[in-house]
Structures are given as structure tokens and as C-alpha cells.
Structure 1
Amino acid sequence: MMRRQQVAVALAAAVLMGSPAVPRARQESEDARRVREAATVFGEIMRAEDKAIPRAILGGAEAVAIFPGTVRAGFIVGGMRGRGIISARTQGGWSAPGFLTITGGSIGLQIGGEAADLILVINNRRGLENLVSNQFTLGADAAVAAGPVGREAKAATDVQLRAEILSYSRARGLFAGVTVNGSTVRPDRDANERFYGKRLETRQIIFGPAPGTPAPVPLWLETLDRYTR
């Protein structure tokens, strides 16, 4: 009798492991990993202060978006594709992260198939509103410039100071301002739903009440707050 019960339990476990719930759980884990990787990327970049985003720029930023492991295609000029997150500044700190995708466009000198971490610093409300609209093209719907790097922001050019969005990239351990004109940013509604458990627009998440704090949101918000005060 005991042997039959053990066999039944084993069969039930096998059925559950083969059910559609497992791929969904794996996908949810991938979304959480995206948040955790964004926190890791931002922390690593900012700890190297001589080669980081100037604190003065981050201190006045309306929002920060990070696309970890964005894949760049082509040579010299090519497209890219990636998934990332964005948080906006609030009265009490930073909003919960909303999910985004980025595709197409060019990212300057590159090697085909290389993965890079892409960071966007949004300087004003107009740039933020545009970025979380249904579809936003960098360089066409708002002025975008390669951002300055280092301890001080006073080396920034007039173009950088006027830009609504500053863009940066890290590849092979090298971090620098980089142009991303022509790239298209869209809300990732499917990722929002998987992560928060309900259908949400990215703008609802960053402008509205926090929909929740699934792990590892606290890590992301703590890292963001540490370097943007």
C-alpha cells in the first residue's frame, strides 16, 4: 500500500512539473532578475566615481531607466534590442519600477552581437512623459545626448545640458556616454502583469500609487536612492 502511495505522489509531481505553471514561474523569475540586474549594473557603475555618472546630474534627474545586457547587432552602425526598467522621482524617493523594451536604432561604434548595459537619465518631466508613452523614438520625440562621465558635471557641453535624456553604455567593462538616436522605447505590459500580478501601464506604475514591492524591488530602490541624493 505504501509503495502505491509513493508511486502516486511521484506521478503527481511529474504532472505538476510538466504543467504550464512552471514556464510562467520561470518567466516571473526572469522579470525579477531584470530588476536585480538593473540594481547591480547601476551600483557597479556608480562605485567607480571617476568614471561614473556625475552625482549632480543624477541629483536633478526626473527618472532613471536601465536596460541590462542589451544586445547590439551589426558593425559600426546597427540595431539593438533589450528589456529594462524605469523608476521616476517622487516626493518620498523613487517609484516602483515599470518595465520597458528598446529596439532598433544605432548605438555608435560596436561589435556585432555584443551585449551592453544601457542607462538613460531623464532630465525633465516632458522627457519622462514621452519615454513612457505608447511608443517613443529617442532623438526624434525628445533631444538625446551622450552623457558626461566623471565626478563633476561642469564638463558637460551645451548640447548635454539642453538634452532631455542623457544616454550611457557599458560594454566589456568600459563605461561612457553613447548616442542611441533612432531607438524605439515601448512599455512592456506583459512584464508588468507578470511581475505585479495585474495588467498595468508603465506610466501607471511610475506616476501612481505603488502596485506592490515584489522582491527585489527594495534592492533596486535602495541602490537608486543611494546614488541620486
Structure 2
Amino acid sequence: MRQRMANETGTKTAVLTCALALGLSLGAPMARATDDTGASTKANANAEAEMTGSITDAQSADAKMEAQELVNDAVNSAGQMTQDEKLAGLLEKAKGVYIVPEFGKAAAVVGGQGGAGVLLVRKDGEWTDPAFYNFGGITVGAQAGASGGAVAFLLMSDEAVNAFKTGNKLALNAEAGFTVVNYSKAAAGTLGEADVIGWSDTKGLFAGASVGVSNIDWDDDSNRSYYGPEADLSDIIAGKAQNDDADELKSALPG
């Protein structure tokens, strides 16, 4: 009897020992596999986060560079405008100016497409830093064959400046209640009562009697890349947002 109990005890002990050994041998690889899977998942997540971050940073850098290029081009346009003494005199009286350095190929009929532009507003005798807008359509009596070039709209009234504060789909034309006229050296003395004065260095673009601009939209991407993610339309127009890289443009306009 004692012998049988001893044998059974020995057998149970052997079985338990084998089971323990088997469990340990199987459990170690399983634990390692679990650890490896977790590490791999974490590595993939980190790589994806890094990739997403780098793309976002690159896009932001590209947008800021494009915005600065637009500002630099506007400096050249401002230089062209101030070479004309009469136009420079009107700029001194203007409450704001919207400059589109490179207007798209003008159509021979109504509705040529525009481009990107910057708005500067006179605030307490100083020019604000530029606010970025996309320029949709223009209504002009364009001559056939007129090519793209610089255009600008001098904002001579508070109402014309305030139109830009709406941000999107704004218009500077008779339908919106504005008097918009062409600039020409011959007619410079008759421009004082206009809300908006249109100027262009492109021969034939403003050849007709009808001038207007529509579909001007707030360029959110350019403004935020240039001034920071919290950039606000009203703050920029009010002169509360600043970027030292715009100083040359402000200096190029008559004070």
C-alpha cells in the first residue's frame, strides 16, 4: 500500500514537473512574440507620426515661401506704381491697396481669371502688413490679345476697405455699390470721387469703360503660414499681425 502511494506521488510529481517545463518552454517564445509585436506596432506608429509631421511641416514651409514670393513680387509692382507721380499721389490718399503682381492671361471678353494678391490698409498713417487673398474674376473692356501682368486696386473709401473684412466672395464693382474707374494719366484729375481706382501695367487690360473685380477670397493657408496658425483676418487688417519680411513692401508704398 505504501509502495503504491509512493509510486502515485512520484508519478504526479513527474507529470507536474513536465507540465511546468512544457509551459515554461512554450511561454517564453509567446512572451517574446508578444513583446516583439508590441515593439513593432509602436515603431510603425512612431514612423507614421514622424512621416505625418514632416509632410505637414514641409507643406507649411512651402506655403510660407510662396507667400513671401508673392510679397516680393508686390514690391516690384509697388515700385512700378510709384514711378508715376500722379499715381503715387493717389496712393498717398488711398485708405488701402490690393495688389495682384501677376494677373492671369486676360480674356478678350468679360471674365478673365485672376491670381493671388495682397491687401495693405493704411492704419494711423502707417501701412499694415499684407493680408493674402485669391483673386477670381475681373470685368473689363479688355482688348483682344491683352496679356497678363500686374494689376492693383486703390481703395479710396472706407467702404471699399471694409468689403475685404467679409473675407470671401467679395466684389468691387457697381453691383456691390462701388464706383470703380480706370486709372490713366490723362484722367488722373477726375478720379478723386471713386471708391476704387484700377491700375495695370498691361496694355489693353483696362481699355474699356467698365471695370470691376469679383470673387476675391481670403487665402487662409497663406495667411496662417505667414503669420502663424492663429492668424485672424480682422487682426491682420487692423495691423495687429506682423512679419518683418513684409517691411520692404510697406516701405515701397508712399507713407
TM-score norm. by structure 1 comes to 0.75
**Structure 1 residues 169 and 126, CA, compared in 2 at 3 Å: closer, same or farther?**
same
The DSSP-based 3-state class of the residue aligned with 2:87 is coil
**Runs of 5+ unmatched residues, structure 1:** 1-14
Whether 1:122 and 2:155 are equivalent positions in the alignment is yes
Q: CA deviation at 1:208?
A: 4.2
Identity %: 22
Residues 146-161 of structure 1: matches in 2 within 5 Å?
A: 146-149=182-185, 153-154=188-189, 156=190, 160-161=191-192
Cα displacement string for residues 72-128 of structure 1 (whole angstroms, at most 9, x for unaligned residues):
343233322211111111114111111111112323224568322110100111111
Amino acid at match of 2:97: V
Paired residue secondary structure (2:63): helix
Q: Which amino acid aligns with 1:193?
A: R
Q: Which runs of 5+ in 2 are unaligned?
A: 1-49
Aligned residues: 200
> How much does 1:201 deviate?
3.6
Larger radius of gyration: 2
| Cα deviations by residue, 1:139-187 (Å, 9 ceiling, x for unpaired) | 122221112437x942x2xxx3332111111126x89687542522222
For the residue of structure 1 that corresponds to 2:74, the secondary structure is helix
Matched residue, 2:226: 195
Aligned to 2:98: 65
Match of 2:242 in 1: 212
Q: What is the CA RMSD across the aligned residues, in angstroms?
A: 2.9
CA separation of 1:144 and 1:199: change in aligned 2, threshold 3 A: farther
- Paired amino acid for 2:233: T
1:46 matched to 2:82: yes
SS in 1 for 2:221: helix
Equivalent residues of 2:180, 2:198 under 8 A apart:
yes
- Structure 2 counterpart SS, 1:129: helix
Give the corresponding residue for 1:132: 165
Once the 2 structures are TM-superposed, how far is the Cα of residue 197 of structure 1 from its aligned partner? 1.2
Q: Contact 2:140/2:206 (CA < 8 Å) preserved in 1?
A: no
Residues 65/177 of structure 1: CA separation in 2 closer, same or farther (3 Å cut) = farther
| 1:94 equivalent in structure 2 | 127
Rounded Cα–Cα distance in structure 2 between residues aligned with 1:112 and 1:27: 32
Greater share of residues in helix = 2
Q: Are the aligned partners of 2:165 and 2:234 in contact in 1 as well (CA < 8 Å)? A: yes
Distance 1:72 1:130 in 2: 26
Aligned 1:18-57 pairs, distance under 5 A: 19-20=54-55, 21-49=57-85, 53-55=87-89, 57=90
Q: Please tell me whether the aligned partners of residues 77 and 110 of structure 1 are also in contact (alpha carbons under 8 angstroms).
A: no
Residues in 1 aligned to 2:207 and 2:198: alpha-carbon distance in whole angstroms? 6
Report what 1:6 is aligned to. none
